[in-house]
Chains A and B, each alone.
Chain A
Amino acid sequence: MVMSSAQFFDADYQSKTARFLQFLHIDPVLLAALLLLMAAGLGILYSASDGSMEIIQRQVIRLSIAFAVMFIVAQIPQHQLYLWAPWFFALGIVLLVLVLLAGDVGKGAQRWLNLYVIRFQPSEMMKLVTPLMLAWYLCEKPAPPKLSALSISLVLVALPTMLIARQPDLGTALLVAAAGFFVVFLGGLRWRYLFGAIFTMLALIPVLWQFMHDYQKQRVLTLLDPESDPLGSGYHIIQSMIAIGSGGIYGKGWLNGTQSQLDFLPERTTDFIYAVFAEEFGLMGAIVLLSLYAFIIIRGLYIAATAQDSFGRLLAGSLSLTFFVYLFVNVGMVSGILPVVGVPLPLVSYGGTSMVTLMAGFGMLMSVSTHRRLIAK
């Protein structure tokens, strides 16, 4: 039967589609925004990789896998996630310890666990498992959490964070810590505790500095004055800022960015892909892209706010805000206001692991958004 346009806009038909998506546990608004972002990401990657179809193909395969993972995760009802949370957490911690004891070394850090079939990065998993665990713990406690509950929460966040920071993988540690913190914050952390913690942190910065690796210190120093080491660690930031700045308001046009097309911009398909985008599409493009991200984050927070129970709320809220941290750290890094830590531009940067984690997270969001009726029954 041929569909007429009248049929397409028919309220009854629309509700049928909505019911169908509901049945698939898909949030259509979030899905549309994600698809749009990925399409834009492929376009940028095409330019950043000098039109390499090989890279595009691989990225499309990863995106498909990530989508499948999202779809599968979306089918898991949240009470199931609730049941699994402590076990996942325990498994994650064990794996992190194993990584430190017997992990593979890649790019100067010990992040990978060789499972003989696939190489596995347990720290990635902790980006999801940590907020899951904290939501599991805090949803049963009355809000706002008492000091004792906060202490337990602190341990639950600190444990994986420290283990990951030891690898060392500052970017992931930061994201894991942020994800855990967001659960506590959304769970009603008292403001006086929050500000107290912030002041304590500020006071601890000099101590923290002592424990940082030399290359990490160097990154911070380079951020403060990239010109101090223009050919070494400052090169990335300088070239990236040149790319962004020379893009101007309207950009040089797709495939016309000289910084990116002529190889001046390093890591341009991965961590620095935003600079390629900014060079070719300018400030206007940046406003559009950042708006799309903002839309996804707001939608995530909306799903969280409309979730039916505390567990779903905390989980969904934390995941949305973590997504924001990805974006902020990455764009802040390439535009020279944050130190260079390995955080990709979410869903755009070339690379597989974080893509799957991110989409699994969106799967959880969709699950929270679509499984609510089950509880009402």
Chain B
Amino acid sequence: MPYRSHVSDHSYEASIFKFRAIVAAIICILLLGGLLFRLAWLQIVDYDHFADLSENNRIRLMEVPPTRGLIYDRNGVILAENKPTFHLEIIPEQVADMDAMLAGLGKIVTLSENDIKRFKDEMRVRRSFQRISLRTRLNEEEVARLAVNRHRFPGMDISARLSRYYPQGEATSHVVGYVGRINQRDMGIIDVGNYRGTTHIGKTGLEKYYESELHGKVGRQKVEVNAQGRILRVIEKVPPVAGNDLVLNLDMELQHMAEDALGDLAGAVIAIEPHNGAVVVFVSKPGFDPNLFVHGISHKKYNELQHGVDKPLFNRTIFGQYPPGSTFKPFIGLAGIEQRRFGPKESIMCRGHYLLPGDDTRRKYRDWKKQGHGMVDFTKAMEQSCDVYFYELAYRMGINSMHDFLAQFGFGEKTGIDILGERRGLLPSTEWKKRSRGKIWYPGETLIAGIGQGYMLTTPIQLAVATATLAGRGEKIVPRLLKEVHLSENDTVKKREPSRHMIKLRRDSHWDLLFKSMEKVVHGTWGTARATGWGMKFKMAGKTGTAQVFGIAQDEEYDAETVARKLRDHGLFIGFGPVKDPVLSVTVVAENGEHGSAMAPIAKKLIKRYMEKYGHE
């Protein structure tokens, strides 16, 4: 086909075209103007909105958990610290052949099937640049072997994280307690914002009680991330504030000493400075290794501890409730003379048993000494722990005035010690029995209460506080494990003022009488703990106690040899020294310890060492 140009109407067509081209050009310009308008709308009018969105895209706030405060004893011995633990981590995107790598690593460190399964599960849900932990808590040898072989495994890394460690192990298990992973229940209590990034929280003991001091303030950092969430750089950082360090009143040397002294017995030993309530020894035996709980304890191990013979998880100092037995006598004796039921010099006859006046059944209330103590006054009753004297005293007082006087010493009430969960014990009264049992009070029960048996129950810490109150001549304190808090923020010390109030006696000489009588327990010729008193360089006041584990029928011979150890009586001892100016009061409760006199040496040892150490000779 030849190429023809239509010359005839050429100019006409050209003019049509030109007009059309101009129209098209104008439309183009208008549309471009529309586009520019749209762009201006986005970039000027909506600028703030989109600038915000763009910042939200790239900026992320991350929390930096604070370092937990440390715990020391009064002499700076560390009880809870943060130790680096080493973990084997893998960054999947840097690994060429994952299976080969896992096989290779398995030859260097032990990898359980569980480790590998957990790792692979995690790998599926995490982004490939995120680190995934393959093995936790490597031992030193494994760390060394991995470090040497590191070049063979690109994408493998050993990370160090701080985790809680209790170097004293069992010895502080019931004082310091332990931390564990934060669970759903903890989430309800804590300030969730401040715990972002924190994995562990105090679960028991001081770790729990002083959680708010120990935890610290979470730090925050602003980071820039890309669309996959990878952190590219830190824009802004508010560093975390480390938790405060705690310094305890506890003396680890004495703590260990008390622990060893108890031997194989389960029980509690508490020593308190009477004038300020400082708890120097706080032992509950048996203990357990608190480090087991930090990284999650196995079910099997937990059940062993929970249901073991002596229930190692059971903190006897505050949870254990025991009949105080004869250790109750100093308090009841004091009540008797204070309320004029007995004269300080008044004597009665002890024939080895007591008959409740007006009781037709003629039930015999036995004294521990079958043949009787003869004529007994206050001092002798205390020294030899004469039950008949206290039956008579209880009979004269009645349960309710006994209750009211003893309540001043804190029996039947929480002591307020800085560990959570303590029990109230039980200080009975007629009203109590009516309310809780719906029964009337029998006079015979008053007699039993007079020797610290029957319904009477105290926790070791209650007994310890009452003992310290005696030693302080009525100065009632709130026991404190914590001595001071070292604030990490400004390096200052926050001390705790001891809280106290005085129990006023009619006559101050009644304290002297009581001290003298209790001194005789240890140093008197017939004192129940006289074996301990022999050759002692200082004077200690004390009182032994034996609490029946089960009731013994009338006239039945009680042979400790034939019953299983678990059925033996509990042995108790309270004491303080030196008598002239008591510096330390000690309470020992030994389950199945048979007799309190066997516990007296523990108190002696502790007071002696305390005096040597802190210059009270």
In contact, B42 and A245 (Cβ under 8 angstroms): yes
Q: Which of A182, A246, A290 touches B24 (beta carbons < 8 Å)?
A: A182
Chain B residues positioned under 8 Å from A313 (CB to CB): 14, 17
In contact, B226 and A294 (Cβ under 8 angstroms): no
In contact, A244 and B16 (Cβ under 8 angstroms): no
> At the interface, yes or no: B117 with Cβ under 8 Å from chain A?
no
Chain B residues positioned under 8 Å from A239 (CB to CB): 57
How far is the CB of A143 from the nearest CB of chain B, in Å? 5
> At the interface, yes or no: A47 with Cβ under 8 Å from chain B?
no
The complex places the Cα of A286 from the Cα of B21 at a distance, in Å, of 25
Chain A residues positioned under 8 Å from B42 (CB to CB): 241, 244-245, 335-336
> At the interface, yes or no: B110 with Cβ under 8 Å from chain A?
no
In contact, B43 and A142 (Cβ under 8 angstroms): no
In contact, A186 and B35 (Cβ under 8 angstroms): no
In contact, B35 and A245 (Cβ under 8 angstroms): no
Chain A residues positioned under 8 Å from B25 (CB to CB): 297-298, 301
Which A253-304 residues sit within 8 Å CB-CB of chain B?
258-259, 262-264, 278, 282-283, 286-287, 290, 293-294, 297-298, 301, 304
Of the stretches B46-54, B154-162, B524-532, the one at the interface is: B46-54
In contact, B54 and A324 (Cβ under 8 angstroms): no
How far is the CB of B370 from the nearest CB of chain A, in Å? 89
The complex places the Cα of A105 from the Cα of B183 at a distance, in Å, of 53
Q: Which of A182, A248, A335 touches B44 (beta carbons < 8 Å)?
A: A248
> At the interface, yes or no: A217 with Cβ under 8 Å from chain B?
no
Q: Which of A142, A317, A321, A332 touches B35 (beta carbons < 8 Å)?
A: A332
In contact, B28 and A242 (Cβ under 8 angstroms): no
Of the stretches B5-13, B61-69, B141-149, B426-434, the one at the interface is: B5-13
In contact, A262 and B47 (Cβ under 8 angstroms): no
In contact, A309 and B10 (Cβ under 8 angstroms): yes
The complex places the Cα of A64 from the Cα of B271 at a distance, in Å, of 92
Which B197-231 residues sit within 8 Å CB-CB of chain A?
224-228
In contact, B24 and A310 (Cβ under 8 angstroms): no
How far is the CB of B609 from the nearest CB of chain A, in Å? 66
In contact, A262 and B58 (Cβ under 8 angstroms): yes
Chain A residues positioned under 8 Å from B53 (CB to CB): 242, 245-246
Which B456-474 residues sit within 8 Å CB-CB of chain A?
none
> At the interface, yes or no: B537 with Cβ under 8 Å from chain A?
no
> At the interface, yes or no: A213 with Cβ under 8 Å from chain B?
no
Say whether, besides A140-B4, A301-B24, A313-B14, A294 and B35 are in contact (CB < 8 Å): no
Chain B residues positioned under 8 Å from A142 (CB to CB): 6, 9, 13
Q: What is the chain A residue whose CB lies nearest that of B39?
A: A286
How far is the CB of A319 from the nearest CB of chain B, in Å? 12
The complex places the Cα of A328 from the Cα of B30 at a distance, in Å, of 11
Q: Which of B18, B38, B58 touches A258 (beta carbons < 8 Å)?
A: B58
> At the interface, yes or no: B40 with Cβ under 8 Å from chain A?
yes
Chain B residues positioned under 8 Å from A143 (CB to CB): 9, 12-13, 16-17
Q: Which of A182, A259, A301, A321 touches B54 (beta carbons < 8 Å)?
A: A259
The complex places the Cα of A259 from the Cα of B9 at a distance, in Å, of 57
In contact, B24 and A337 (Cβ under 8 angstroms): no
Q: Which of B4, B28, B29, B36 touches A321 (beta carbons < 8 Å)?
A: B28
How far is the CB of A310 from the nearest CB of chain B, in Å? 6
The complex places the Cα of A324 from the Cα of B34 at a distance, in Å, of 13
How far is the CB of A286 from the nearest CB of chain B, in Å? 5
The complex places the Cα of A174 from the Cα of B518 at a distance, in Å, of 109
In contact, B17 and A317 (Cβ under 8 angstroms): yes
Tell me what chain B mostly uses at the interface: helix, strand, loop, or mixed. Answer: helix
Chain B residues positioned under 8 Å from A324 (CB to CB): 28, 31
> At the interface, yes or no: B501 with Cβ under 8 Å from chain A?
no
Chain A residues positioned under 8 Å from B43 (CB to CB): 244-245, 247-249, 278, 282-283, 286
In contact, A83 and B1 (Cβ under 8 angstroms): yes
Chain B residues positioned under 8 Å from A140 (CB to CB): 4, 6
> At the interface, yes or no: A82 with Cβ under 8 Å from chain B?
yes
Say whether, besides A83-B1, A249-B44, A283 and B39 are in contact (CB < 8 Å): yes
The complex places the Cα of A232 from the Cα of B6 at a distance, in Å, of 56
Q: What is the chain B residue whose CB lies nearest that of A317?
A: B21
> At the interface, yes or no: A351 with Cβ under 8 Å from chain B?
no
How far is the CB of B94 from the nearest CB of chain A, in Å? 19
In contact, B32 and A294 (Cβ under 8 angstroms): yes
How far is the CB of A340 from the nearest CB of chain B, in Å? 16
Q: Which of A79, A186, A331 touches B21 (beta carbons < 8 Å)?
A: A186
- B223-264 interface code vs A (CB 8 A; 1 in, 0 out): 011111000100000000000000000000000000000000
In contact, B16 and A259 (Cβ under 8 angstroms): no
How far is the CB of B231 from the nearest CB of chain A, in Å? 11
In contact, A258 and B57 (Cβ under 8 angstroms): yes
> At the interface, yes or no: A66 with Cβ under 8 Å from chain B?
no
> At the interface, yes or no: A129 with Cβ under 8 Å from chain B?
no
Total count of chain A residues near the partner, CB < 8 A: 57
Q: Which of B3, B38, B54, B228 touches A337 (beta carbons < 8 Å)?
A: B38
In contact, A294 and B28 (Cβ under 8 angstroms): yes
In contact, A186 and B50 (Cβ under 8 angstroms): no
In contact, B36 and A286 (Cβ under 8 angstroms): yes
Chain A residues positioned under 8 Å from B57 (CB to CB): 239, 242, 258-259, 262, 264
Q: Name the residue among A139, A262, A263, A375 with the largest chain B CB count within 10 angstroms.
A: A262
The complex places the Cα of A82 from the Cα of B225 at a distance, in Å, of 57
How far is the CB of B324 from the nearest CB of chain A, in Å? 69
Say whether, besides A242-B50, A246-B54, A294-B32, A186 and B39 are in contact (CB < 8 Å): no
The complex places the Cα of A63 from the Cα of B20 at a distance, in Å, of 32
In contact, A244 and B226 (Cβ under 8 angstroms): no
In contact, B50 and A283 (Cβ under 8 angstroms): no
In contact, B21 and A305 (Cβ under 8 angstroms): yes
How far is the CB of A62 from the nearest CB of chain B, in Å? 26
> At the interface, yes or no: A243 with Cβ under 8 Å from chain B?
yes
How far is the CB of B34 from the nearest CB of chain A, in Å? 8
> At the interface, yes or no: A46 with Cβ under 8 Å from chain B?
no
Chain A residues positioned under 8 Å from B47 (CB to CB): 245-246, 248-249
> At the interface, yes or no: A144 with Cβ under 8 Å from chain B?
yes
- B115-146 interface code vs A (CB 8 A; 1 in, 0 out): 00000000000000000000000000000000
Say whether, besides A142-B9, A182-B24, A262-B225, A79 and B3 are in contact (CB < 8 Å): yes
> At the interface, yes or no: A88 with Cβ under 8 Å from chain B?
no
> At the interface, yes or no: A188 with Cβ under 8 Å from chain B?
yes
Chain B residues positioned under 8 Å from A311 (CB to CB): 5
How far is the CB of B185 from the nearest CB of chain A, in Å? 35
> At the interface, yes or no: A185 with Cβ under 8 Å from chain B?
yes
Chain A residues positioned under 8 Å from B32 (CB to CB): 290, 293-294, 328
Chain B residues positioned under 8 Å from A248 (CB to CB): 43-44, 47, 51
The complex places the Cα of A290 from the Cα of B18 at a distance, in Å, of 24
Q: What is the chain B residue whose CB lies nearest that of A297?
A: B28
The complex places the Cα of A294 from the Cα of B55 at a distance, in Å, of 33
Chain B residues positioned under 8 Å from A317 (CB to CB): 17, 20-21, 24
Q: What is the chain A residue whose CB lies nearest that of B47?
A: A248
In contact, A283 and B44 (Cβ under 8 angstroms): yes
The complex places the Cα of A333 from the Cα of B28 at a distance, in Å, of 17
How far is the CB of A182 from the nearest CB of chain B, in Å? 7
How far is the CB of B45 from the nearest CB of chain A, in Å? 9
How far is the CB of B428 from the nearest CB of chain A, in Å? 69
The complex places the Cα of A321 from the Cα of B26 at a distance, in Å, of 12
The complex places the Cα of A83 from the Cα of B1 at a distance, in Å, of 7
- A59-102 interface code vs B (CB 8 A; 1 in, 0 out): 00000000000000000000100110000000000000000000
The complex places the Cα of A16 from the Cα of B129 at a distance, in Å, of 62
The complex places the Cα of A244 from the Cα of B38 at a distance, in Å, of 10
In contact, B18 and A305 (Cβ under 8 angstroms): yes
How far is the CB of A240 from the nearest CB of chain B, in Å? 10
In contact, B38 and A188 (Cβ under 8 angstroms): no
What are 11 residue pairs bridging A and B, where the CB atoms are less than 8 Å apart in the complex? A140-B4, A241-B50, A242-B53, A244-B39, A264-B58, A283-B43, A301-B25, A310-B6, A335-B39, A336-B42, A375-B5
The 3 closest A-B pairs by CB, nearest first: A245-B50, A246-B54, A263-B227
Given contacts A245-B43, A259-B57, A305-B18, 11 further A-B contacts (CB under 8 A): A143-B12, A186-B21, A244-B43, A246-B53, A248-B44, A248-B51, A249-B44, A262-B226, A283-B39, A297-B28, A305-B21
